[in-house]
Every structure is written in structure tokens, then in C-alpha cells.
Structure 1
């Protein structure tokens, strides 16, 4: 079957409108309608309900259509990956590096690794999908992303292969001119932490709850945030000390901020680079993994 039918079906679903999809695809509406009928005949099921006379979206996926849409996305992603792999076999590294991760984890990747990788491989383009773990999983399964970055404890190894892991530690982030200004910032104890107003990321809450060193009831948690970037913003205001998980090379882009590792948690947690189970990485994705390993 002509794979353009799959691409056109995806566009039809994403626009939700036969006329708009035809305009985007530069084909006539009857031609697009004919393709849809062919697909439904080929697979023996109605894929889309068309509701006439409604403004905006006038298409609704059937249960069979939902399955077909998901598989069509995967097939088109495989087609793109295959094309890129063949094109790159005896040529320079080029194509699109597609990564799904949380917003907090994307920041150090963009700051420290992607610019250097882009300088080395200027023909590579980037797509970064940011969201919660459920979004990372969906982007990988749907084929929108090839690599995912996640807390290793949240990775379903029945669905995903782990390509690379990196230790994360619990760090205290604070303003040098607000907290502990009367001493050197070499070490911090839990007694120090318990006396301070805190901003905690979701990751740090999980680390604390799984430890035997303290519990949440003993801490003055002024703010608990989904992302560590938001927790750090609280600390940058001088209102709190932020506790967040980070790897050793992550940077803090605040001139007045200090960062001290709490060694009690060292090595207990890792972030993982993952891909769909059994997926053969494209050359550009494999090159990035090798590039990242060389840095860490």
C-alpha cells in the first residue's frame, strides 16, 4: 500500500476536518475521501464517523480508527527512521533527533549537550517533547520520539529498553546571601535542612519518602512543585532552600545560588535514557547516545 495514505490519514485526524486536511495535503477533497474509503475497505472496518454541519471538528475516530491512527503513526515513524538510516549509511550524520522528557530534565540537556552535538553535527535537527512520564511513554509508543529520559524506577522494562543510566543525587540549592551566610557552604546536615523553609520537587519528595533519614512531617515544606525548575525558582527568590535531584554536571544558572550535595542519598537514584523495546536506533540517535556517554 502507498504509505502516503497513512500520512494523509494522520493529517485528516489531526485537522479534524476533511476540507482543511485536503488543503494542507494539496489534494482534492474527493480524492482524500476516496483514500479513506479505500482504507476502510482494505481493513474491513469503519475508521471515522463524519458528522455533517458542525463547525470546527467534524470527524470522530471509531474504536477501529483509534487503533489504526496509533499504528499509522508508528509506521510513518518507522518509514522516516528507515529512510534516515539508509541515507546516513555512508554519509554524514543528519536527520532529526527526537527526545521525550520532562521539562526539568530537558533544561540540562539543552544547556549542556544539544548545542555541542549540534555544532559537531550541524545537519541534525531536534524535536523535544516535554511532559510528565505518561507523555514520555505515549510519545515513544506513538513513534513521535525515539529517545526518552526518565527516572529509572518509573521505566516499564517490558515495554522499553534502557540504553544508558546516570546517577542522580539530592542537592540543596539556596541563595548564598540569605542562608548560612555566617559559615562556609561545604556541608549541610539534616538538622540544618529541618530549620529552613523548603521548596521540593516531585522527584525529591519521592527520594525523601523512600529514605530512612527523615520524613516529610519533619520538614517545613513551603512549596511542593511538579518540576525541579519551579522548586529552584522558589530558592532563587531567597524564600526557600530547594531540594532537588540532579546529576553531578548539571548547572545552576543563578549567580548568587549555591549547590551542595546531600551525600546520604548518593547513588540511590538514576535517570535512564530509554527507547521502545526492540527498536533499532537510527544513526543520529545512536550517535547522540555515544556522544552523551563520552561526556558523562
Structure 2
């Protein structure tokens, strides 16, 4: 199985059309069809269901798409890392990030490093802890940012300078918005939005024995999406401060929890990880600057 063939497969999967994919790949449609047919024969599974004007992935094709994306990304990483070994003016960094206003400090460090090494490139992906740690374990990411302390037997970490404060984002015309702070009793029986991870790990630290009286209306990975639902009066969003625009005129307000609930943010990497030269420079720089904060 060749990486080139997997690239062909992924392009067809994205376009869902053999003709368009062939044009993008700059090969003939018969040649592309032959490559995909050979891939199906090699795997012994049908990867596409062909229709008159489009093609759809089978269940086996969906599985291959996920694996092929990881393999192609890893192949690109290896190539870029070897190119950068002899030229430390650039290279590429790969991050998996949680949501937090403190990501600005990470962006600041990347900006500073890019001024020294203008050819530096970086790839950013988002997801919950399970998703980004899986990619870190596979070697697809250099660093991840987590809103929880990682497993210290597997990972090294660096704590961010500050902590994130929890509160409730809600429409500015609901009675609860008139309160300066929000107590757990204020939320009982109300429809609540929160990330699934935080509902399990963070909110119970605050709600304590009243956790079972709180109602999770829906879980979201991205607070911005959840805020749109809150704005339509579908629920109240439990989230970090400074993630959502709650300025006058936004239609939303943020009210902190009482007692105060805070979560630390961590930059995480694998123990005994072999870094590219640019990743080593980044880690050294951010470690020094975070210690000064």
C-alpha cells in the first residue's frame, strides 16, 4: 500500500466524484479508477458505493479514511522533519488545543519564534482530551493543551501562567442575568449546556452533593456553538470566562460561579519524546517565558 494511493483515495473521498478528484490530482480518470480498484483488491473490501453522478464511502471506506488521514499526516511530518534537520530556519509544529483564552499565550510564543525563524509553519487541531491525546500518542502531534492534569507516568507538562474561571453565559434578558454571581441552587431544574468532559471532571467539584439536581440539556465541544443555543433561550452555558463575546450589545452576559471554580491549563508532551529541532526550540522558549510569568 503506497502513500500516493492513499492520497488518491482521500481526494476521491473528499470530492465524492471521480472526475473532479482526477482533475485536482492531475491524472486521468481511468488511471485513478485503476488505482482505487487495486486498493480495494489489496484490502479485499469494497471502499466505495458508486452512483450515477457521485460515489459514497462504505463502512470499510470510512474506516480506511480515518487511518489514511493519520498515515498521510505522519508521512508529511517525517518528510518535513528531515528537511528541517539541516535547516533550522523553519520546520513545522503540530498542536492539539483545548478552548481557553490562555491560548493567546501559546500564540504569543509561536509569534515570537516565527520572528526568529520566518519559515516556521504550524498546524492546529482542536478536540477534547481523549481526541488530542490519541493523536499525541500516535506521534501526529508535538504538543497538546489540556484543561486537566495529564497522566504523569506517560506525559510531561508545563502549567500555563494563569487559571480559567468558570461561569454561566446566558441571554441578557433572563431574570438570572440580574445576579452578580451564580450559586448552584440558581441552576437547579434549568437546562444547562457544558462540555461532556467538564460535566464529569469540573462541575462536580463545584456542585458537590447537588450535582444530581443539575440537568444537562446538551453537551458541546465548542463553547461558541453552545453560546448560539444559549442566545436562543434553549439553555444556560457553563464555560470559561473570556471565550464568548458578552460585551454590551451581544445579547449575552457572563456571570461567575460562586464559590469560584477554576481550572488550570497544561502544555503536554510525551515522555522521552524525540523532538524536531524547531520543537525543541519552542519548548525551551515557552518553558523559560512561562517561568517568568
TM-score range, shorter chain: 0.5 to 0.7
Which residue of 90, 96, 118 corresponds with 2:114?
118
Question: What is the alpha-carbon distance in structure 2 between the residues aligned to residue 208 and residue 34 of structure 1?
Answer: 54
SS in 2 for 1:81: helix
CA contact (8 A) 2:93 2:123 kept: yes
Seen in structure 2, the aligned counterparts of structure 1 residues 148 and 239 have a Cα distance that, compared at 3 Å, is closer
Seen in structure 2, the aligned counterparts of structure 1 residues 132 and 90 have a Cα distance that, compared at 3 Å, is same
Seen in structure 2, the aligned counterparts of structure 1 residues 5 and 38 have a Cα distance that, compared at 3 Å, is same
Alpha-carbon deviations, 1:203-259, whole Å to 9, x = none? 599546326999779xxxx95334543467369989554359xxxxxxxxxxxxxxx
Tell me the residue number matched to 1:286.
280
Seen in structure 2, the aligned counterparts of structure 1 residues 59 and 212 have a Cα distance that, compared at 3 Å, is closer
Seen in structure 2, the aligned counterparts of structure 1 residues 3 and 224 have a Cα distance that, compared at 3 Å, is closer
Superposition RMSD in Å: 4.2
CA contact (8 A) 1:98 1:126 kept: yes
Matches within 5 A, 1:66-105: 66-104=62-100
1:32 aligns with 2:28: no
CA contact (8 A) 1:197 1:239 kept: no
Gaps spanning 5+ residues in structure 2: where? 168-178, 184-192, 214-234
Question: What is the alpha-carbon distance in structure 1 between the residues aligned to residue 136 and residue 24 of structure 2?
Answer: 26
Q: How many residues align?
A: 244
What is the deviation of 1:30? 0.9
CA contact (8 A) 1:208 1:214 kept: no
Tell me the residue number matched to 2:181.
197
Which residue of 48, 58, 62 corresponds with 2:59?
62
Gaps spanning 5+ residues in structure 1: where? 174-194, 245-261
Tell me the residue number matched to 1:166.
159
Seen in structure 2, the aligned counterparts of structure 1 residues 50 and 80 have a Cα distance that, compared at 3 Å, is same
CA contact (8 A) 1:82 1:282 kept: no
